[in-house]
Chain A
Amino acid sequence: MTRVVDIPSQFDDRTFEQFATACGEFADDRILFDAHATQWASPFGLVGLLVAGQWAAEHGPERPLLTVPSDRDVAHYWGRAGFFQHAQDWFELHGKIPRVAPSHSSDVLLAITPVRGSDDVHGVVESIQDRSAAILAELGLEATAAMGFAMALSEACQNIVEHAGTSGWVAVQAYNWRRRLGRRVVVIGVADAGIGFRRSLAATQSDRFGDRWSDATALEAALFHGASRFRDPGRGQGLGGIARYVNRWSGKLAVRSGAARIAIVPPWDDDEPLTDGLAAFPGSQVLMIVPAQDAT
């Protein structure tokens, strides 16, 4: 049997829960991910969709199907963002796949890039620093902030390498959020289909929490208490560093893992700081949003 999972028309962190709920239990049926009516997707949505594809391919009865967006511009955008290049590894693609190579442009600051090891993190950092002038121009930030951006990106990617137990993806794009914020923003999406925070931290942290140990407490421990699966006291500083960076620039950080989601919520956003009891979704997904410092 084939089960259809609709990709939301506007696929970003705010509609991700609708998508995760629709995914349900991956293992039962072959899944058709239907993106034909999708009009827009953020980096968080695109890397999240790859995670769903990887998980379904590895745990489902057959490789999942994906119908590509029927809107030519949308499909081209996904192509420029590098989505199809990676999607073909996990999905049986249906529809017209645009012949466009992943590229840098004013909106795609970093095309979807796999993160499998330390070398990939170096590559991501090199790429994003090559684009630092564009990032500074997008956000009206000082040069130090662009370095901080690369540091935060590096730590988010290392989180995959050190904790996921599998590979993942990262993407960075810029948008003009006219309606939501009235400013330009840079959005980073990082996602993996790995073991998630609860399993990664269980050996060193679960005893401290006892019955309270869950996806939510694991995320709290990692973000606010610098918990790490390693007993080395120098470990566990990466997420805290990302949090300091986004706080300093009035940005947003959200980390979703398993059935929970934790966020550092800036004044311009109305997200919940901690949400538990969500639909279970594989691995971990990190969202960072850095807004322009002056209204444009």
Chain B
Amino acid sequence: MQHIDLKTILQRTVSSRYGDLVTRPTGQAVRGGIEEELEAVTGEQVAVIDFGTVRLLDYSCADEIVGKLLLQHGRAHYFLFQGVTASHCEAIEPVLERHGLAAIARDREGRIRVLGHVPEAVADTLSTITGRTLGTDVLPEATAHELLTLLRDPQMPGHGAASAPGTG
């Protein structure tokens, strides 16, 4: 895994005075910083984008840091958004839905959740895999069938933990 700390990037690319990810110019600068770090990410390494030290994320910044990042790099890299809070999700979810994207996030308590635009079968499958639905070791048959159908769909992307369904 390649750990990418957003506050460090924010302070390096914008200003050491800031602790919040707000405004579009800030998002653009931080995305540029992330892209520099992505150059060191190889093969199937997961880029862990860490929101853990960030207080606030607004919609404009989320569009640059999450939306545009996934649109431009979601097919070449695996991403995990780590340390997200409920308020971060409030900014990220509309951005992902607007772009028809999905992403996997881990909150500060270590819980995994899928954000954005994702077919129900995929969400169910991920819930099972990540152990959120305790006591169900296998997928319900209907979900498994739906998942198989989705996986056979040539439009379904096959690469990237965060990806853009329908654009593949």
Which residues of A are in contact with B by a Cβ distance under 8 Å?
118, 121-122, 125-126, 129, 144, 147-148, 150-151, 154-155, 158, 161-162, 226, 233-235, 237-238, 240-241, 244
Known: A233-B99, A234-B68. A151 touches B59 (CB 8 A): yes
**How many angstroms between the C-alpha atoms of A150 and B23 in the bound complex?**
12
Which residue of chain A has the shortest Cβ distance to B29 in the bound complex? A118
Which residues of B are in contact with A by a Cβ distance under 8 Å?
15, 17-20, 22-26, 55-60, 63-64, 67-68, 85-87, 90-91, 94-95, 98-99
Which residue of chain B has the shortest Cβ distance to A234 in the bound complex? B63
* Of the residues B17, B18, B58, contact of A151 by C-beta under 8 Å: B58
| Secondary structure of the B contact surface, majority rule | helix
**How many angstroms between the C-alpha atoms of A104 and B39 in the bound complex?**
46
Do B87 and A162 have beta carbons less than 8 Å apart?
A: no
Minimum distance in angstroms from B69 CB to a CB of chain A: 11
Known: A150-B56, A234-B67, A234-B99. A122 touches B86 (CB 8 A): no
**How many angstroms between the C-alpha atoms of A131 and B19 in the bound complex?**
15
**How many angstroms between the C-alpha atoms of A104 and B56 in the bound complex?**
22
* Of the residues B20, B25, B98, contact of A233 by C-beta under 8 Å: B98
Do A155 and B26 have beta carbons less than 8 Å apart?
A: no
**How many angstroms between the C-alpha atoms of A228 and B94 in the bound complex?**
16
**How many angstroms between the C-alpha atoms of A1 and B23 in the bound complex?**
44
Minimum distance in angstroms from B98 CB to a CB of chain A: 7
Do A151 and B90 have beta carbons less than 8 Å apart?
A: yes
Do A122 and B23 have beta carbons less than 8 Å apart?
A: yes
Which residue of chain A has the shortest Cβ distance to B86 in the bound complex? A144
